[in-house]
Protein backbone atom coordinates (compact mmCIF):
# COMPACT_ATOMS: atom_id res chain seq x y z
CA UNK A 1 0.00 0.00 0.00
CA UNK A 2 2.90 2.38 0.69
CA UNK A 3 4.74 1.72 -2.58
CA UNK A 4 2.41 3.76 -4.84
CA UNK A 5 2.50 6.61 -2.33
CA UNK A 6 6.31 6.53 -2.24
CA UNK A 7 6.53 6.51 -6.04
CA UNK A 8 4.15 9.46 -6.24
CA UNK A 9 6.10 11.38 -3.61
CA UNK A 10 9.38 10.65 -5.38
CA UNK A 11 8.01 11.88 -8.72
CA UNK A 12 6.23 15.02 -7.51
CA UNK A 13 7.82 18.40 -6.95
CA UNK A 14 10.27 20.43 -8.99
CA UNK A 15 13.19 17.99 -8.84
CA UNK A 16 15.26 20.90 -7.57
CA UNK A 17 15.12 20.82 -3.75
CA UNK A 18 17.56 23.70 -3.29
CA UNK A 19 15.99 25.88 -6.04
CA UNK A 20 19.33 26.45 -7.81
CA UNK A 21 17.96 25.64 -11.24
CA UNK A 22 19.75 22.31 -11.55
CA UNK A 23 18.61 18.80 -10.87
CA UNK A 24 20.04 17.31 -7.70
CA UNK A 25 20.55 13.57 -7.59
CA UNK A 26 21.02 11.47 -4.52
CA UNK A 27 24.52 9.95 -4.38
CA UNK A 28 24.69 6.83 -6.49
CA UNK A 29 21.48 7.43 -8.48
CA UNK A 30 22.59 9.55 -11.47
CA UNK A 31 26.27 9.87 -10.71
CA UNK A 32 28.75 7.04 -11.08
CA UNK A 33 30.30 6.17 -7.72
CA UNK A 34 33.78 7.65 -7.20
CA UNK A 35 36.73 5.30 -7.01
CA UNK A 36 39.09 6.61 -4.37
CA UNK A 37 42.67 5.57 -5.08
CA UNK A 38 44.11 6.68 -1.72
CA UNK A 39 43.12 5.13 1.62
CA UNK A 40 40.70 7.34 3.55
CA UNK A 41 43.11 7.39 6.53
CA UNK A 42 46.86 7.26 5.92
CA UNK A 43 47.39 7.33 9.70
CA UNK A 44 50.52 8.22 11.64
CA UNK A 45 53.32 7.98 9.09
CA UNK A 46 56.24 8.81 11.40
CA UNK A 47 59.51 10.15 10.01
CA UNK A 48 59.76 9.81 6.23
CA UNK A 49 62.59 10.18 3.77
CA UNK A 50 61.77 12.47 0.92
CA UNK A 51 63.05 14.37 -2.06
CA UNK A 52 63.69 18.06 -1.33
CA UNK A 53 63.36 20.83 -3.93
CA UNK A 54 64.23 24.53 -4.05
CA UNK A 55 63.34 27.12 -6.70
CA UNK A 56 62.59 30.80 -7.14
CA UNK A 57 64.26 34.08 -6.30
CA UNK A 58 64.46 35.91 -2.98
CA UNK A 59 60.94 36.86 -1.83
CA UNK A 60 59.33 34.13 -3.89
CA UNK A 61 61.50 31.16 -2.96
CA UNK A 62 59.77 27.78 -3.02
CA UNK A 63 60.87 24.95 -0.74
CA UNK A 64 59.30 21.52 -1.06
CA UNK A 65 59.61 17.90 -0.06
CA UNK A 66 57.95 14.90 -1.69
CA UNK A 67 57.49 11.76 0.45
CA UNK A 68 56.25 8.40 -0.82
CA UNK A 69 53.70 7.06 1.69
CA UNK A 70 52.36 3.99 -0.15
CA UNK A 71 53.45 2.03 -3.22
CA UNK A 72 53.07 -1.20 -5.10
CA UNK A 73 54.59 -2.54 -8.32
CA UNK A 74 52.60 -0.17 -10.55
CA UNK A 75 51.77 2.98 -8.54
CA UNK A 76 52.73 5.12 -5.57
CA UNK A 77 51.06 7.71 -3.34
CA UNK A 78 52.96 10.82 -2.27
CA UNK A 79 52.55 13.52 0.37
CA UNK A 80 53.93 16.76 -1.08
CA UNK A 81 54.69 19.74 1.18
CA UNK A 82 55.35 23.03 -0.59
CA UNK A 83 56.26 26.34 1.06
CA UNK A 84 55.73 29.23 -1.40
CA UNK A 85 57.38 32.56 -0.64
CA UNK A 86 55.24 35.58 -1.45
CA UNK A 87 51.94 33.71 -0.98
CA UNK A 88 49.53 33.02 1.91
CA UNK A 89 51.26 33.19 5.30
CA UNK A 90 54.51 34.03 3.50
CA UNK A 91 53.15 37.14 1.73
CA UNK A 92 56.06 39.54 1.21
CA UNK A 93 58.72 37.10 2.44
CA UNK A 94 60.38 33.76 1.93
CA UNK A 95 59.30 30.67 3.89
CA UNK A 96 60.51 30.61 7.49
CA UNK A 97 60.11 28.42 10.59
CA UNK A 98 56.84 28.57 12.48
CA UNK A 99 53.60 26.71 13.18
CA UNK A 100 51.01 27.26 10.49
CA UNK A 101 47.33 26.30 10.86
CA UNK A 102 45.79 25.40 7.50
CA UNK A 103 43.08 28.08 7.40
CA UNK A 104 42.19 31.15 5.34
CA UNK A 105 44.37 31.68 2.25
CA UNK A 106 46.08 28.35 2.96
CA UNK A 107 42.86 26.53 1.95
CA UNK A 108 42.99 27.80 -1.64
CA UNK A 109 45.30 26.01 -4.06
CA UNK A 110 46.06 29.29 -5.85
CA UNK A 111 46.88 31.41 -2.78
CA UNK A 112 48.45 29.04 -0.25
CA UNK A 113 51.92 29.71 1.12
CA UNK A 114 51.88 26.42 3.06
CA UNK A 115 50.49 23.89 0.61
CA UNK A 116 50.10 20.19 1.33
CA UNK A 117 48.81 17.71 -1.21
CA UNK A 118 48.42 13.97 -1.53
CA UNK A 119 49.07 12.75 -5.02
CA UNK A 120 47.36 9.40 -5.56
CA UNK A 121 48.33 6.44 -7.70
CA UNK A 122 51.20 7.98 -9.63
CA UNK A 123 51.90 5.79 -12.64
CA UNK A 124 55.36 6.14 -14.20
CA UNK A 125 55.12 8.02 -17.49
CA UNK A 126 51.43 8.87 -16.98
CA UNK A 127 51.15 10.94 -13.82
CA UNK A 128 48.64 10.74 -10.93
CA UNK A 129 45.16 9.30 -10.91
CA UNK A 130 43.89 11.62 -8.15
CA UNK A 131 45.02 14.77 -6.43
CA UNK A 132 44.00 15.79 -2.89
CA UNK A 133 44.40 19.24 -1.30
CA UNK A 134 44.45 20.30 2.36
CA UNK A 135 41.29 21.41 4.13
CA UNK A 136 42.41 21.37 7.79
CA UNK A 137 45.41 20.63 10.00
CA UNK A 138 48.70 22.13 11.11
CA UNK A 139 52.17 22.32 9.56
CA UNK A 140 55.18 23.06 11.76
CA UNK A 141 58.44 24.09 10.10
CA UNK A 142 61.57 24.12 12.30
CA UNK A 143 64.23 24.84 9.65
CA UNK A 144 64.34 26.35 6.17
CA UNK A 145 68.10 26.95 6.05
CA UNK A 146 70.40 24.11 5.03
CA UNK A 147 67.66 21.56 5.62
CA UNK A 148 63.90 21.58 5.33
CA UNK A 149 62.69 20.20 8.66
CA UNK A 150 59.09 19.99 9.78
CA UNK A 151 56.00 17.98 10.50
CA UNK A 152 52.29 17.70 9.71
CA UNK A 153 49.57 17.06 12.27
CA UNK A 154 45.96 16.05 11.67
CA UNK A 155 45.86 17.17 8.04
CA UNK A 156 42.60 16.41 6.21
CA UNK A 157 42.40 16.44 2.41
CA UNK A 158 39.68 16.71 -0.24
CA UNK A 159 39.96 15.66 -3.86
CA UNK A 160 40.92 18.46 -6.25
CA UNK A 161 40.21 18.66 -9.98
CA UNK A 162 43.54 19.55 -11.58
CA UNK A 163 41.82 20.97 -14.65
CA UNK A 164 39.77 23.54 -12.75
CA UNK A 165 41.84 23.66 -9.53
CA UNK A 166 38.57 23.38 -7.61
CA UNK A 167 37.54 20.94 -4.88
CA UNK A 168 35.37 18.14 -6.28
CA UNK A 169 31.95 18.17 -4.62
CA UNK A 170 31.39 14.72 -3.05
CA UNK A 171 34.93 13.79 -4.09
CA UNK A 172 37.28 11.47 -2.24
CA UNK A 173 38.87 12.39 1.08
CA UNK A 174 41.90 11.25 3.04
CA UNK A 175 43.82 12.29 6.14
CA UNK A 176 47.29 12.11 7.64
CA UNK A 177 47.51 11.94 11.43
CA UNK A 178 51.17 12.88 11.40
CA UNK A 179 54.40 12.77 9.41
CA UNK A 180 57.79 14.41 9.88
CA UNK A 181 60.65 15.15 7.49
CA UNK A 182 64.27 16.35 7.66
CA UNK A 183 65.86 16.80 4.24
CA UNK A 184 69.07 18.60 3.26
CA UNK A 185 68.21 21.29 0.70
CA UNK A 186 70.04 21.16 -2.64
Ranges 28-32, 86-90, 106-110, 158-162: which has the least confidence: 28-32
Between CA 55 and CA 185 the distance in angstroms is 11
Q: Is residue 34 part of a domain?
A: no
Whole-model pTM? 0.79
Between CA 56 and CA 106 the distance in angstroms is 20
Dihedral class, residue 17 (left if φ above 0, else alpha if ψ from -120 to 50, else beta) = alpha
Ranges 19-28, 71-80, 120-129: which has the least confidence: 19-28
> Quick one: pLDDT band at residue 31, thresholds 50, 70, 90?
low
- Contact call for residues 134 and 105 (beta carbons, < 8 A): no
Q: Is residue 60 part of a domain?
A: yes
Which of these, 126, 115, 133, 123, lies nearest to 173 by C-alpha position? 133
pLDDT over 60 at 18, yes or no: no
pLDDT over 50 at 6, yes or no: no
Stretch 32-41: mean pLDDT, rounded? 84
**Which is more confident, 139 or 170?**
139
Between CA 63 and CA 168 the distance in angstroms is 27
The mean pLDDT value of the chain amounts to: 85
pLDDT over 90 at 34, yes or no: no
Q: Is residue 6 part of a domain?
A: no
- Contact call for residues 52 and 61 (beta carbons, < 8 A): no
> Quick one: pLDDT band at residue 32, thresholds 50, 70, 90?
low
What confidence tens digit (pLDDT) does each residue in 99-157 have?
999 999 999 989 999 999 999 989 888 888 899 999 999 999 999 999 999 999 999 99
Domain housing 67:
41-184
Q: Is residue 89 part of a domain?
A: yes
Domains: count for the chain: 1
Distances (CA, A) of 3 to 7, 9, 13, 30, 180: 6, 10, 18, 21, 56
Between CA 86 and CA 40 the distance in angstroms is 32
Between CA 60 and CA 46 the distance in angstroms is 30
User: Tell me, what's the pLDDT at 124?
Assistant: 83
Q: Is residue 140 part of a domain?
A: yes
Q: Is residue 11 part of a domain?
A: no
Q: Is residue 22 part of a domain?
A: no
Q: Is residue 8 part of a domain?
A: no
Amino acid sequence: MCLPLLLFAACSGSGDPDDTGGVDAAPGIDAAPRTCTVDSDLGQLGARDGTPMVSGAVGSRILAVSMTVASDAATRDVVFVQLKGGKGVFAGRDPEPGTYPLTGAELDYNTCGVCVTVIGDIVAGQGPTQFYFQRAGTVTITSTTGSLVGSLANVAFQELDLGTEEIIRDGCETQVGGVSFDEALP
